[in-house]
Structure 1
Amino acid sequence: MKIYILIITCLYTTFLFAQNNIEGKVTYTISYNKANQKEIVETENNKQAIKAINNSKDITASLFFSNNESLYKLDTPMENDADQGINLTRTFAGKGDVFYNDVSNDIHLLQKSNAAGKFLINKKPITWEIKQESKKIGTYNCFKAIKKDTLNSNNKTVAWFTPQIPVSFGPKEYNGLPGLILELEHSLLSYRATKIKLNSKRPVRIEKPNAGIKVTEEEYRNLLKDYFPGFFKERKK
């Protein structure tokens, strides 16, 4: 156990010094975890839901990072994909959402649009518990981490990060680990880093989103409750 803690401490120290000198782009492939829907029984009432689950297709998203900043968003679907109706993977992955992080200033923003309007949500930083488990993903040595507020949940948020790419970023709002997140399991979706480009000749430019009503996460939830009261009453049942 002491050796494990020493290794993590050394990796984190390396991470602190190296993060300012690396930039790149990561492509994530996002998959819908159909196996998690086994509890759905095929009856006349939910055949449409099962059809939608079976028809869900993988999508991709891009993470751009430079120094202490990152920007994450879903890739634009191909024209023929966009014409095939609802894709649950894209729906649950947050189509149109833009995530921005500035770790040096502890800024974590989500730009989101829906029927209630356009918002710029100030997200809280995520806290993790790093485990002793490790595995190899491609050529990278990775460590396991679990989002702390999901430790006792059936739907744990599990990340695999590599200190070999010493940046504190990952898909969506999942940041704050001493290394790039290469895999993430969250609720109904799985995220896999399928392409990584580091320090290419073309510099990465990140623009901080600034459009939308500025709110905290709590203020945003309260706004949704006021705008969609029926939806939240249904969820309480």
Structure 2
Amino acid sequence: MKNFTFYVITLLFSVFVSNAQEFQGEAVYESKTSMEDATKQLDGNKDITPEMRKMIEERMRPMFEKTFILHFDKTASVYEEEQKLDAPGQGGGMFKMMSSMMGGGGKHYKNIKDKRILMEKDIFGKEFLIDDSLPAIKWKMVNETKKIGNYTCFKATANMPVDKTNLMNMRPKKGAEEKIKKLQEEGKEEELRKTNFMDMVEMPEAVEITAWYTPEIPISQGPGNYWGLPGLILEVSDGKTMILCSKIVLNPKDKAEIKELKKGEKVTQEEFAEILMKKIQEMQEMRGGPRGGGHRGMGRP
């Protein structure tokens, strides 16, 4: 019965795609990432008062809670963060730069027919265009359903390669939290300040994800790099970040322009990840170096 249901869904999906020549839709997603790993670094710091901690957390929150809009047709989509005005004292450029490194900013083009992705990225004002193949996802269909809004959704899971261009996917290394806590307890502020950030975190190779898709919108699209199911993905979680669809508009009156991105120096995902890690290392060295401040040019490594 389970396989029969899947075959029916797949058949309806194929019929829909072949006839939906002018079909277009818009989906709004709310993304929330746990701030636990970030705020743990504030624990035990005697220089940070409760008021300061609250202020820091509020300034960090926009990096961990974002709104995205997905414009899609039968074969392609453009996914981008909704732009919001900064509140007074919100931190300006540095927080915007960090937000971009954590999956925000820029546009994300995905073509499921050509199996291709294009992503705009910005580091210190240097624009890059990631041009790469769309990662394959081996989905496992699960016999569970639930309602998201007015749509009936089916569950699927997968072990998916991690997007190494998104710092939000980093995890603390084993023992890193204990090391920081010990330095704080011993009052070794200078040693703590010079601790290399890159030595304390790691990027996992893959992550287990859970997605909920609706065959009622039989488009093989979803937020970010997620795709490949016989229906629009309305919810996806990797245990740390959850992305949930809050609004859908089918065949909107004002259709969006869904086309390939062209702005920025072309690099692969792997090349951009190397550039990103190099710049983070440089920032760390300058922070602990004798001259401090400023930054170097953004040439390729």
TM over 0.5, yes or no? yes
Q: C-alpha deviations, 1:42-80, integer Å up to 9, x for none?
A: 311695677544662543110001221100000111x35
Counterparts of 1:24-35 in structure 2, within 5 Å, are 24-34=25-35
Unaligned runs of 5+ residues in structure 2 are 162-203, 286-301
1:7 pairs, out of 5, 25, 28, with 5
Distance 2:53 2:10 in 1: 44
Identity of aligned residues (%): 27
Aligned with 1:133 (options 122, 133, 144): 144
Q: For the pair shown, which has the larger CA radius of gyration, 1 or 2?
A: 2
1:32: Cα distance to partner? Answer: 3.1
Residues 1:189 and 1:10: Cα distance change in structure 2 (over 3 Å): same
Given candidates 118, 124, 128, the residue that maps to 2:127 is 118
1:94 is aligned to 103
1:147 aligns with 2:154: no
CA displacement, residues 6-26 of structure 1 (integer Å, 9 cap, x when unaligned): 211221221122135131111
Deviations 1:181-203 (A, max 9, x none): 11121353221111110012333
Describe how 1:1-237 pairs up with structure 2 within 5 A.
Answer: 3-19=1-17, 21=20, 22-34=23-35, 42-44=43-45, 47=48, 52-53=56-57, 56-57=61-62, 58-77=65-84, 79-81=85-87, 84-85=90-91, 86=95, 90=99, 94-115=103-124, 117-121=126-130, 122-127=132-137, 128-149=139-160, 156-186=208-238, 188-229=240-281
In 1, Cα distance between the equivalents of 2:261 and 2:206?
Answer: 34
- TM-score, normalising length: structure 2: 0.64
Q: Is the 8 A contact 2:115 2:133 kept in 1?
A: no
Alpha-carbon separation, structure 2, partners of 1:130 and 1:23: 26
Are the aligned partners of 1:97 and 1:111 in contact in 2 as well (CA < 8 Å)?
yes
For the structure 1 residues 232 and 145, does the alpha-carbon distance in structure 2 shift closer, same or farther, using more than 3 Å as the test? farther
**Per the alignment, do residues 229 and 88 of structure 1 end up closer, same or farther by CA in structure 2, a change over 3 Å counting?**
closer
1:190-228, CA deviations, whole angstroms, 9 ceiling, x for partnerless residues?
Answer: 211111100123333213111222222222233334444
Tell me, yes or no, if the aligned pair for 2:145 and 2:155 is still in contact at 8 Å: yes
**Counterpart secondary structure, 1:147:** strand
- What TM-score does the superposition give when structure 1 sets the normalisation length? 0.79
Secondary structure, in 3 states, of the residue corresponding to 1:208? Answer: coil
> 8 Å contact 1:59–1:90 — kept in the other structure?
no
Residue 30 of structure 1 contacts residue 59 of structure 1 at CA under 8 Å; is this kept in 2?
Answer: yes
The residue type paired with residue 78 of structure 2 is L
Q: Amino acid of the residue matched to residue 134 of structure 1?
A: T
What is the number of residues matched between the two proteins? 230
Cα distance in structure 2, aligned partners of 1:172 and 1:211: 18
Q: 1:7 to 1:84 in 2, by over 3 A?
A: same
CA contact (8 A) 2:99 2:105 kept: no
Compared with structure 1, are the counterparts of its residues 80 and 110 closer, same or farther at alpha carbon in structure 2 (3 Å cutoff)?
A: closer
- Determine if contact 2:221/2:233 at 8 Å carries over to the other structure: yes
Task: Please tell me whether the aligned partners of residues 30 and 89 of structure 1 are also in contact (alpha carbons under 8 angstroms).
Answer: no
3-state SS of paired residue (2:13): helix
CA contact (8 A) 1:123 1:217 kept: no
SS of match in other structure, 2:267: strand
